Amino acid sequence: MPSVTLTQCTAKLAPSSRQRQDYSDFNRSDRYVPTDIKVNVYSRHRDSYQWVSKPFLEKIRDQVREIVPALRPNVGYTLQQLCGDLFWLSLSKGEPSLAGDCMVHLVCHTSEFPELKITKIPRTRPIEYGLK
């Protein structure tokens, strides 16, 4: 029976109804397996909410988490500086803006980065983050 690995859990996919298999090891909780979990994130550019895939949000989180211990107090950092140029250049068109929306969500609406705050919100330049 094929299986799909999600973050912190493994669930079995139900075989199609045309297949004749033994269902004795198939639990009721195994029936619904989300293939792409999404998070609703506010976009300041569109002034509305948009759905972002959780793996993309986690990539941004992981990139920033690596650099947080090296941040200095009273210094503002753009998301590009926090993620690193190599990662930033790997983003496709539209993803840098989406990454910025994800970072604002992570800092303001989750407990992922309790040590970070938004230090500057310019109208035409990137948002800056710093230590609390």
Model pLDDT, residue 45: 64
For the stretch 79-107, pLDDT in tens is 999 999 999 999 989 899 899 999 999 99
**DSSP count for the chain of H helices, then E strands:** 4, 7
118 burial level (CB within 10 Å; 0-12, 13-18, 19+): middle
Integer Cα distance of 61 and 103 in angstroms: 8
Report field, pTM of the whole predicted structure over 0.85: no
- Give me 129's structure tokens: 């983050």
**pLDDT of 5 above 70:** no
Cα 101 to chain centroid, rounded: 10
Model pLDDT, residue 4: 41
**pLDDT of 34 above 80:** no
- Is residue 85 within 8 A of residue 69, CB to CB? The reply is no
